[in-house]
Amino acid sequence: MTISSDLVTYACADGVATITMDDGKANAMSPTMLAAIDGALDRAEADEAVVVLRGRPGMFSAGYDLGVFQSGDGDAVIGMLRAGGGLVRRLLDFPRPVVAACTGHALAQGAFTLLAADVRIGVSGPFRFGMNEVAIGMTVPNYAVSVCKHRMAPTAFDLALGTGRLVGPEEAQGWGLLDDVVDEAALDQTVATEAARLAGLVPDAHLGTKRRVRADLAETIRRQIDAEFPAP
């Protein structure tokens, strides 16, 4: 089954659901993009499928839609940040394994989303990874600090968030942002092989173990989102 919108395509076959983000540009995490991803995850959950979340060629996601921040609409900003934090929390707690096929750049909320996947596979090339909030006048949200602290190498965690340094794919792997880096030509096959392996896991054992490993993190993030970006 394939379902397509202006921003997100959903395709499911052999127990693997592929969710592809493509806005034709930076895959900005706008309210509309976040809602489309959430809807695709609803479909994947109903299909009881392993998820592959991927971007467009050369771009996983460059983060939030800056136009929303610049709009002056405080409610829209809070809603977007709440939805972005909710996506991170949902991926961390998703019932089936999630693979991030990182097709290029992953910055800010794009990197936080990457960190929430169970397995992160990126491509080598002139791509940048990191959290550049401090370079553009933003404070990193609390939920993002928590997921970074959980998944990133300790020496990289403070450097990345506090200084906004951006790195290439190989260094991003050392930082803990990626698990594997492959040539672009090998990405699809590598992701397909890993997704098939994960589809063979016993679902209850996977979810039960994931929740034991991440229980404190998921609950902390839930509280942080509610406190920092309260629902209307």
Amino acid 4: pLDDT: 60
Any alpha helices (H) in the chain, and if so which ranges? 31-46, 66-70, 74-92, 109-116, 142-151, 154-163, 169-175, 187-199, 203-228
Domain harbouring 113, CATH code: 3.90.226.10
Amino acid 2: pLDDT: 62
Identify the domain containing residue 185 by its residue range.
2-228
Amino acid 197: pLDDT: 98
Token couple for 195:
């997704």
Can you give the pTM of this predicted structure? 0.96
pLDDT-flagged residues of the chain (< 70): 1-4
Other C-beta atoms within 10 Å of 134: how many?
Answer: 14
Amino acid 1: pLDDT: 54
Please name the amino acid found at residue 191.
V
Other C-beta atoms within 10 Å of 126: how many?
Answer: 9
When divided into structural domains, the chain yields a total of 1
pLDDT tens digits for range 96-151? 999 999 999 999 999 999 999 999 999 999 999 999 999 999 999 999 999 999 99
- As a whole-number percent, the residues of the chain with pLDDT over 70 amount to 98
